Amino acid sequence: MLAVLAFGWRFPIVVAAGVAAGVANGIAGGGTFVTFPTLLALGVPALTANISTTVGVVPSSLGSLGVFGRQLGDHRDLVARLAAPTAAGALLGSLLLLAGSPGTFRSVVPWLIGAATALFAVAPVLTRRLAHVSHDHPARRAGLVVGVFAVSVYGGYFGAGIGIMLLAVLGLSLPFEVKEVQGLRNGIALIVNAVAAVVFAVHGHLDGEAVVALWIGTLLGGWLGAKLVSRLPATAVRVVVVAIGVVTTAKLAAG
């Protein structure tokens, strides 16, 4: 694969794309908008590029957890409760991708990410309006599980913008500030990508050279992105996430 350029040029290009994608994922997600078109430009077929990207970005969550591991540890009971619906959703989404094509879903992706961005932007207002409803209320807890499952299905199928979607779901369902849920968001994303990666590795269609290059780049980028977010005020993080969501939605809508 990656037949357009000689090996010596291809590998660092994909590593650099992986670093950029890891930084984006460490902040809010959307890293696949860097890696997927890069692989396409290097001559990788669309399905192989999509699958290789999903497998290749797994270390970005690991890099981020190197910074936000404490936040994840603080909510380990919640992670354990969400692990099953997350894994089930990712499995379903990855199997749907193998049965169809990523192009099938593209027409609705801008609407999904746009809606998630809007929800995330107004989450503080909605949270205040819902303050009278306990976060332990059965409806709110069910909404969290259903929301995470739905996002995990999407993540296993296409994956682009999953971080923004998870932040929207978690922001509406949990009484935490945006920086506090970063560890949880990265933990869920790691499960989604890991499950999809196992399915895709078993099925094939992977470009091994691209995956290794992405592993190197996204691990470093994920750590760098998470370090940046950890140093920003919560309001600045929210502004950055919304900005990334708006740009991502516009890019997808423009085709």
pLDDT digits (tens, 9 = 90+) for 172-228: 788 777 777 888 888 898 899 899 889 988 887 788 889 999 999 999 999 998 888
Say if residue 142's pLDDT is above 50.
yes
Number of Cβ within 10 Å of residue 37's Cβ equals 14
Q: CA–CA separation, 243 vs 241, rounded Å?
A: 5
Task: State the maximum Cα–Cα separation within the chain, in Å, rounded to a whole number.
Answer: 61
What pLDDT, on a 0 to 100 scale, did the predictor assign at position 214? 94
Q: Is the dihedral of CA 191, 111, 164, 33 positive or negative?
A: positive
What pLDDT, on a 0 to 100 scale, did the predictor assign at position 8? 64
Work out the pLDDT band at 3, boundaries 50, 70, 90.
very low
Say if residue 102's pLDDT is above 60.
no
Number of Cβ within 10 Å of residue 129's Cβ equals 10
pLDDT digits (tens, 9 = 90+) for 7-26: 567 899 999 999 998 888 88
Whether residue 247 contacts residue 33, with contact meaning beta carbons closer than 8 Å, is answered with no
In 3D space, the residue among 201, 97, 94 whose CA is nearest the CA of residue 156 turns out to be: 94
Looking at per-residue pLDDT, the higher value among 8 and 244 belongs to 244
Taking residues 223-239, report their average pLDDT: 81
